[in-house]
């Protein structure tokens, strides 16, 4: 009985050792702290110890040893461990309990993820038209949210794709060539303090309105009438858009030089021409329009400024009879036999025959000596009651036919507002031939050029006759305009 008990005990001990090794491997794989295993054959336990039988997953149960001798339940007390630690490396001896060991599991705690920024909304404001400005309007986002933008473009119902160019600002300027097949939207990413970013996309805009009525500037021409001494504030905006910047150059290309505007005028970046011109002239320049996506000013227009002379400050007269005389504002005269060139002695006195009818033209000049167009009509008078003065023009340069009767000096006076011009005509006997000098061609030194008319101010006679030959001294700026 004793030998049997010992043999069984040894057999059970060996079985327990083998089971411990198997369980250790299985425990490592399963990642559990401890697993209890059973022996290959029933193990007798004392009355105070209960060891339930457990099958380890993935391990086959062993059948009882076929060579084992039949025996009754062994009542020999055997000290068996309560659990099998996965770290055991060998069998335990009978009567020596295996130490219980609790393994330490090492885990990495997941870091908390920041919440996303609560989404607000974004809409597009502004009119979708050529060179019009669209603006991204955000609402409903947390306080302190910062935004980034990307404008999107859809062509002919296609998908939205990022718009090329500088299109990451809150505003976007539509190009000058877009039309009804083009639509736009904006993608906005908002990031609130301490939160992750959230992205939303606006609704797509309406099709682009080509707005031809608002596009005079695209290779177009605009002509403005200004006046010396009169202030102006005129928008030259070539396009009906906002956020545009304007500049003036002397050429349509990018290599043009800044254009010097007439004295007294300036062009503001928003396209407003302002100031007070100081000299009559006709000038032309190129207006460049720049936007956020075309900062080089690629949109080009042509502008013509027709600056008319200012208010009348002095009066001159031209008397035409057997010859032609210019009567200056200081009362002096200058003679010529021809209306085309300076012909004859300029010092020839103003003299006509008794009863002769002469034509008298009144010239109205501004402060710069430039011929203007004064809508007022002067009043005429003569120092000789027998003279007949008949106006024969209702507009433009005032003209009268004057029939001078009686020999002697006749003082002719023209009054226009508070201005007066008086000159003397020598009337000789009808039988007396008016003396004139032999035909000569006199060249006067040029002291300057009349900007508005383009004639020499150093040759007043030529200036006056040239104007009269062009149509009685009417303003020429309408005829000089370019299409």
SS3 426: strand
Q: What is the pLDDT of residue 97?
A: 54
For residue 221, name the pLDDT band (cuts at 50, 70, 90): confident
Mean pLDDT confidence for 76-97: 44
* 9 or 344: which leads in pLDDT: 344
- Are residue 178 and residue 239 in the same domain, yes or no? no
Look at residue 441 and tell me if it is in a domain: yes
Domain that holds residue 57: 1-99
R_g (Cα) of the chain, nearest Å: 56
Residue, of 345 and 475, whose pLDDT is higher: 345
The 10s digit of each residue's pLDDT in 353-367 is 999 999 999 999 999
Residues of the chain with pLDDT > 70: what percent?
Answer: 61
Reduced to 3 states (helix: H, G, I; strand: E, B; else coil), residue 304 is strand
> Kindly report the CA angle at 308 between 307 and 311, in degrees rounded to 5?
130
At residue 42, the pLDDT reads: 41
Q: Answer yes or no: do 74 and 155 share one domain.
A: no
Strand partners of residue 419: 416
Question: Mean pLDDT over residues 226-239, rounded?
Answer: 90
Domain stops at, among 169, 201, 233? 201
Tell me which of 68, 99, 130 is where a domain ends.
Answer: 99
Tell me what pLDDT residue 43 has: 38
Q: Do residue 285 and residue 225 come from a single domain?
A: yes
In a domain, 57, yes or no: yes
Claim to verify: residue 440 and residue 457 sit in the same structural domain: yes
Q: How many CA atoms lie within 13 A of 149 on its CB side?
A: 22
Count the domains in the chain: 4
pLDDT band at 456 (very low <50, low <70, confident <90, very high): very low
415 pLDDT band (50/70/90 cuts)? very high
Asked if residue 72 has pLDDT above 80, the reply is no
Pick from 321, 315, 314: nearest CA to 352: 321
Q: Kindly report which listed range (127-141, 201-215, 312-326) carries the lowest average pLDDT score.
A: 201-215
Is residue 35 situated within a structural domain? Answer: yes
pLDDT for the residue numbered 479:
35
Residue 73 has, within 13 A of its CA and on its CB side, a CA count of: 8
CATH of the domain at 177: 2.60.40
The CA distance from 81 to 95, in Å, is 10
Q: Are residues 278 and 406 in the same domain?
A: no
Could you tell me if residue 110 is inside a domain?
Answer: no
Place of tokens 């009754």: 72
Return mean pLDDT, the chain: 72
Comparing 440 with 464, which gets the higher pLDDT?
A: 464
DSSP string, 42-103: -----TT------PPTT-PPPPPPTTSPP-PPP-S-----SSB-TT--SPPPTT-PPPP--P
Q: Are residues 455 and 418 both part of a single domain? A: yes
Q: What is residue 273's DSSP assignment?
A: E
For residues 190 and 133, which has the higher predicted lDDT (pLDDT)? 190
Check residues 230 and 395 and name the one with the higher pLDDT: 230
Q: Is residue 190 part of a domain?
A: yes
Q: Where is the domain boundary, 99, 131, 147?
A: 99
Separation of alpha carbons 419 and 400, rounded Å = 18
Task: Tell me the pLDDT tens digit for each residue of 139-197.
Answer: 999 999 999 999 999 999 999 999 877 689 999 888 777 889 999 999 999 999 999 99
Output the six-digit token pair for 158: 């296609």
Least confident of 108-122, 183-197, 224-238: 108-122
Let me know: does 23 contact 54? Beta carbons within 8 Å.
no
Q: Where are the beta strands (DSSP E) in 344-465?
A: 351-353, 357-365, 379-382, 388-391, 399-403, 408-416, 419-428
Q: Are 372 and 383 in contact (CB under 8 A)?
A: no
Q: What is the CATH number for 246?
A: 2.60.40.10
């Amino acid at each position: 009985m004793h030998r049997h008990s010992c043999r069984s005990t040894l057999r059970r001990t060996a079985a327990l050792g083998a089971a411990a090794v198997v369980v250790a491997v299985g425990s490592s794989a399963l990642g559990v702290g401890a697993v209890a295993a059973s022996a290959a054959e029933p193990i007798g336990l004392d009355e105070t110890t209960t060891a339930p039988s457990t099958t380890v997953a993935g391990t086959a149960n062993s059948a009882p040893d076929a060579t084992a001798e039949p025996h009754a339940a062994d009542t020999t007390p055997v000290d068996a461990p309560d659990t099998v630690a996965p770290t055991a490396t060998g069998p335990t001896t009978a009567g020596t309990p295996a130490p219980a060991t609790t393994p330490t599991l090492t885990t990495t705690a997941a870091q908390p993820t920041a919440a996303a920024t609560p989404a607000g909304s974004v809409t597009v404001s502004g009119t979708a038209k050529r060179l019009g400005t669209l603006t991204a309007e955000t609402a409903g986002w947390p306080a302190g949210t910062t935004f980034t933008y990307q404008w999107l473009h859809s062509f002919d119902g296609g998908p939205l794709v990022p718009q090329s160019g500088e299109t990451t600002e809150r505003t976007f300027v539509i190009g000058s060539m877009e039309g009804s097949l083009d639509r736009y939207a904006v993608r906005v990413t908002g990031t609130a303090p301490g939160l992750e970013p959230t992205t939303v996309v606006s609704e797509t805009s309406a099709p682009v309105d080509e707005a031809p009525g608002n596009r005079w500037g695209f290779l177009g021409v605009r002509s403005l009438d200004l006046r010396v001494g009169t202030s102006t504030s005129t928008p030259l905006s070539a396009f009906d858009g906002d956020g545009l910047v304007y500049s003036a150059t002397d050429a349509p290309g990018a290599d043009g030089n800044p254009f010097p505007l007439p004295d007294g005028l300036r062009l503001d970046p928003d396209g407003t021409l302002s100031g007070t011109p100081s000299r009559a002239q006709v000038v032309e320049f190129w207006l460049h329009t720049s936007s956020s996506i075309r900062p080089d000013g690629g949109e080009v227009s042509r502008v013509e400024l027709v600056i008319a002379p200012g208010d009348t400050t002095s009066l001159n007269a031209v008397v035409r009879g057997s010859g032609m005389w210019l009567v200056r504002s200081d009362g002096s005269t200058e003679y010529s036999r021809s209306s085309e060139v300076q012909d004859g002695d300029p010092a020839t006195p103003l003299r006509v025959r008794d009863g002769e009818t002469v034509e008298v033209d009144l010239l109205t000049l501004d402060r710069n000596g430039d011929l203007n167009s004064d809508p007022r009509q002067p009043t005429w008078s003569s120092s000789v009651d027998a003279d007949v003065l008949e106006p024969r023009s209702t507009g433009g340069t005032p003209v009268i036919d004057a029939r001078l009767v009686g020999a002697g000096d006749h003082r002719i006076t023209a009054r226009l507002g508070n201005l007066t011009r008086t000159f003397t005509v020598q009337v000789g006997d009808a039988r007396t031939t008016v003396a004139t000098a032999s035909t000569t061609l006199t060249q006067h030194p040029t002291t300057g050029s009349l900007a508005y008319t383009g004639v020499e101010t150093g040759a007043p006679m030529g200036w006056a006759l040239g104007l009269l030959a062009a149509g009685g001294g009417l303003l020429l700026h309408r005829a000089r305009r370019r299409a």
